Chains A and B, each alone.
Chain A
Amino acid sequence: MLELIVISTLNGVLFGMLLFLLSSGLTVIFSMMGVLNFAHASFYMLGAFFGYQLTKWIGFWPALVLAPLLVAAVGMAVERYGLRNTHKHGHVAELLLTFGLAFAIEEIVSMIWGKSPVDYRVPAALDFPALTVFSTNYPAYKIFMLAISALIFVALLIALKRTRVGLIVQAALTHPHMVGHLGHNVGQVFMLVFGVGSALAGLAGVIAGPALVTQSDMAALLGPILFVVIVFGGLGSLPGAFIASLFIGLVQTFAVALNGSLASAFGPLDPSIGPSVLTDIWNVTIAQIAPVLPYVLLVFILIVRPMGLLGTRET
């Protein structure tokens, strides 16, 4: 039992950190610009595919730097030529723009790289078991992912709290209009933030690609969860997103590890009742509903506390 708990915690933290890497960019973009960027997960996918392609050409380590920069360029172009023009039509139009973009990016990716998973591998330098916990190997690459995510979190915190740009961004998180009135070029700040956010998503893609499957539907798979994370953690709150990522990562992992169902807790139902909704609910295990749990949490938190865990304002 202890073994399962330790390993599940490790796995949960790992998945949570990946979620954080993705959601950190999204939450900053969202809270600054009010744009629910539906294409954020698509930038993550672009990162993975750019990473795959660049790894093939110039190796993994240069790709780790270059691919996120490329994604940042794409993101900034989207902001500059798409969102900025749409801004005057309101947030719904902006959101729908990214919605359409997500569609288009998925199709473009599958056009170029095909629809089957590509052979994107862990770099040889990291392809060994780093440590063994209760006879389960932990690959070095996963430790590397963990380290990168932690590094990004610290770097983001420092950048936000200790630098001038960070202060402007932070101010814009809560008082976007005031920042504009103070004479900052809000447009440029937006573009920069959008670029950084996209780059973070791209970075997540580059490092998650080899660990997970790099395929043209990977964006659709992860996309909705990201919204859960940022809404749950509270809009505009980086620590909130951090806590929410870890929390949701752990919830999902532990839910899988548990075998409980109502039937195992209270004994099987009288078979004479026959199949009904009740028997369905009675027999479903927690593991089966694990992927649904984030949405339950989302709906729950929005009803109870619409600003999220650490959020300060409603949108």
Chain B
Amino acid sequence: MTSTVTSASDIAAKSSGQNLRFYGVWVVAAIALVALPLIFSSGGSLTSFSLIGIAIIFALSYNILLGETGLLSFGHAVHYGLGGFAAVHLMNAVTAHGWPIPLPLIPLVGGIGGLGLALLIGWVMTRRAGTVFAMISLGIGELVASSSLILRSVFGGESGISTDRTALPHIFGWTFGPQIQVYYLIAFWVLVSAIAMCALTRTPLGRICNAVRDNPGRVEFIGYDPHVVRYLAYCFAGFFAGIAGGLAAINFEIANSAYLGAVQSGMVLFATFIGGASYFFGPILGAILVTYLQLGLTSVTSVWQLYFGIIFIGIVMFAPGGIAGLLMMHRPLIRARTLGMVIPSYLVAALPTLALACGVILVIETVARYATGGGEGSIVRLFGIPFNTTAPATWGTAAVLVVGGFIVARITWRRITEAWDRAASIARDRGYLA
């Protein structure tokens, strides 16, 4: 909790004189979004970027709940899914009736879909925070996902409802057939939504959300109803999740029950938490990483889920602030110019830690290969080095890497802690660290 408190005060201190920097960041982001497809132009990379963009909006919307308001939801995907369905239905209606609504406006309809559901169910859901909220969200998530298979006329059963994005009225000669045009559409909405959500955190509502998260009792004393605040936050989160869902519907040209399910809800939780819920940019990092891992890991290993689990457990145990938390830990050190004191110990620790990681990977892959039935395919390649899963040498190497790596790594980790403490105490003396 301490990190979240400092972040709030951080932002408060920053917001006074750093508007220029604020705009600068977004301009750089915009340029990066425009330039990306010029550098990587293959169909696959465009698809990846589009998915990452959608995931970013979705994760940021989730963080309005988790990071800003302290609401842990296990059913955020219902808003994403509803947004997707709203978008698909409208796209089909536009095509059927010839309404003059161009595609770029469709995500807004997705947002309204997500918002509509949030308005409807949010009031009862947000009466309480904590576990009660988490459980209700789990129940609602299951309910909506199951009813999507029962209400076939709306959700199209398990095959879903498909649509054709090119059939909508074209503007500026853009048909949105090619993926590159869809990418730019998504990029545009990513930028707009991210700016909107970032701005939201700086409004009084955003601040009072933080207060509700940290101490709802005191919020009540100063005259706000935490229930109303939570409800408002929930509606905003639903709206932006709906935008993400609408974009996903445009990207895939199909909406189905997989949008609403527990897997989708779990993924956004993963992304937000791994990235770091305490900082605005945390979910962005998380969304990029998780989407990338999802796309990349699945093509190299069949047990990608295990790596996901391990990474997640590792983050929860050793870096509960997520990647963003890890990065931001160093900010006071940089300011106090004491970062140099910890870098050497990082470098020393890198080698044994890497060895440990390789050992773990080797063990997992070997066991996975070995268990799924040997044969001639049971060769694990690590750094291009072939390891035969049945050879004792492989098992030996793995054991040495894991055990040896762990013993050495533990010593170096201790040194990191010591170096860190020294650097931090100097930073504290210089007044950069509370």
Determine the residue in chain A with the shortest Cβ distance to B3: A89
CB-contact partner of A108 in B139, B140, B306, B312, under 8 A: B306
Query: Is A224 an interface residue, CB under 8 A from the partner?
Result: yes
Q: Across the interface, do A107 and B317 meet the contact criterion of CB distance under 8 Å?
A: no
Distance of B154 from chain A, by nearest CB (Å): 6
Q: Across the interface, do B150 and A284 meet the contact criterion of CB distance under 8 Å?
A: yes
The residues of A that contact B42 with a CB separation of less than 8 Å are none
Query: Is B153 an interface residue, CB under 8 A from the partner?
Result: yes
**Most chain-A Cβ atoms within 10 A of its Cβ — which of B310, B317, B367?**
B317
Distance of B419 from chain A, by nearest CB (Å): 21
Q: In chain B, residues 126-156, which have Cβ atoms closer than 8 Å to a Cβ of chain A?
A: 127-128, 130-132, 134-136, 138-140, 142-143, 146-147, 150-154
State A113–B154 Cα separation when bound (angstroms). 40
Distance of B410 from chain A, by nearest CB (Å): 13
Given known contacts A292-B147, A303-B124, is B305 in contact with A107 (CB within 8 Å)?
yes
Given known contacts A280-B150, A291-B146, is B140 in contact with A299 (CB within 8 Å)?
yes
Chain B 24-52, CB within 8 Å of chain A: the 1/0 string? 00000000000000000000000000000
Distance of A262 from chain B, by nearest CB (Å): 13
Q: In chain A, residues 80-100, which have Cβ atoms closer than 8 Å to a Cβ of chain B?
A: 82, 85-86, 89-93, 95-97, 99-100
Q: Across the interface, do B303 and A107 meet the contact criterion of CB distance under 8 Å?
A: yes
The residues of A that contact B132 with a CB separation of less than 8 Å are 302, 306, 314-315
CB-contact partner of B371 in A85, A112, A235, under 8 A: A112
Distance of B48 from chain A, by nearest CB (Å): 23
Given known contacts A292-B143, A303-B124, is B138 in contact with A99 (CB within 8 Å)?
no
Query: Is A1 an interface residue, CB under 8 A from the partner?
Result: no
State A277–B320 Cα separation when bound (angstroms). 44
State A34–B312 Cα separation when bound (angstroms). 20
Q: Across the interface, do A289 and B128 meet the contact criterion of CB distance under 8 Å?
A: no
Q: Across the interface, do A95 and B306 meet the contact criterion of CB distance under 8 Å?
A: no
Given known contacts A96-B273, A306-B132, is B151 in contact with A86 (CB within 8 Å)?
no
Query: Is A160 an interface residue, CB under 8 A from the partner?
Result: no
State A166–B142 Cα separation when bound (angstroms). 36
Distance of B3 from chain A, by nearest CB (Å): 10
Query: Is B308 an interface residue, CB under 8 A from the partner?
Result: yes
Q: Across the interface, do A279 and B316 meet the contact criterion of CB distance under 8 Å?
A: no
Query: Is B309 an interface residue, CB under 8 A from the partner?
Result: yes
State A302–B151 Cα separation when bound (angstroms). 25
Given known contacts A108-B306, A288-B150, is B138 in contact with A314 (CB within 8 Å)?
no
Q: Across the interface, do B139 and A299 meet the contact criterion of CB distance under 8 Å?
A: yes
Q: Across the interface, do A101 and B309 meet the contact criterion of CB distance under 8 Å?
A: yes
Query: Is A124 an interface residue, CB under 8 A from the partner?
Result: no
Q: Across the interface, do A100 and B309 meet the contact criterion of CB distance under 8 Å?
A: yes
State A279–B309 Cα separation when bound (angstroms). 42
Q: Across the interface, do B72 and A95 meet the contact criterion of CB distance under 8 Å?
A: yes
State A289–B147 Cα separation when bound (angstroms). 8
Q: Across the interface, do B313 and A111 meet the contact criterion of CB distance under 8 Å?
A: no
Determine the residue in chain A with the shortest Cβ distance to B368: A111
Chain A 102-114, CB within 8 Å of chain B: the 1/0 string? 1111111001111
Query: Is A17 an interface residue, CB under 8 A from the partner?
Result: no
The residues of A that contact B385 with a CB separation of less than 8 Å are none
CB-contact partner of A279 in B146, B153, B368, under 8 A: B153
Query: Is A228 an interface residue, CB under 8 A from the partner?
Result: yes
The residues of B that contact A92 with a CB separation of less than 8 Å are 72
CB-contact partner of A227 in B1, B135, B310, B317, under 8 A: B135
Given known contacts A279-B153, A292-B146, is B128 in contact with A104 (CB within 8 Å)?
no
Q: Across the interface, do B317 and A86 meet the contact criterion of CB distance under 8 Å?
A: yes
Chain A 162-176, CB within 8 Å of chain B: the 1/0 string? 000000000000000
Q: Across the interface, do A36 and B320 meet the contact criterion of CB distance under 8 Å?
A: no
Q: Across the interface, do A96 and B316 meet the contact criterion of CB distance under 8 Å?
A: yes
State A288–B303 Cα separation when bound (angstroms). 34
The residues of B that contact A279 with a CB separation of less than 8 Å are 153
State A112–B310 Cα separation when bound (angstroms). 17
Q: Across the interface, do A97 and B317 meet the contact criterion of CB distance under 8 Å?
A: yes
State A36–B137 Cα separation when bound (angstroms). 14
**Most chain-A Cβ atoms within 10 A of its Cβ — which of B124, B147, B266, B313?**
B313
The residues of B that contact A231 with a CB separation of less than 8 Å are 135
Q: In chain A, residues 247-281, which have Cβ atoms closer than 8 Å to a Cβ of chain B?
A: 275-277, 279-281
State A95–B147 Cα separation when bound (angstroms). 27
Query: Is B9 an interface residue, CB under 8 A from the partner?
Result: no
CB-contact partner of B142 in A86, A104, A292, under 8 A: A292
Query: Is A199 an interface residue, CB under 8 A from the partner?
Result: no
Determine the residue in chain A with the shortest Cβ distance to B320: A89
Determine the residue in chain A with the shortest Cβ distance to B308: A103
**Most chain-A Cβ atoms within 10 A of its Cβ — which of B135, B153, B273, B309?**
B135
CB-contact partner of B367 in A86, A93, A96, A112, under 8 A: A112
CB-defined A-B contacts under 8 Å, sample of 11: A96-B316, A99-B312, A100-B309, A100-B312, A102-B309, A112-B367, A113-B371, A280-B154, A295-B139, A295-B140, A306-B128
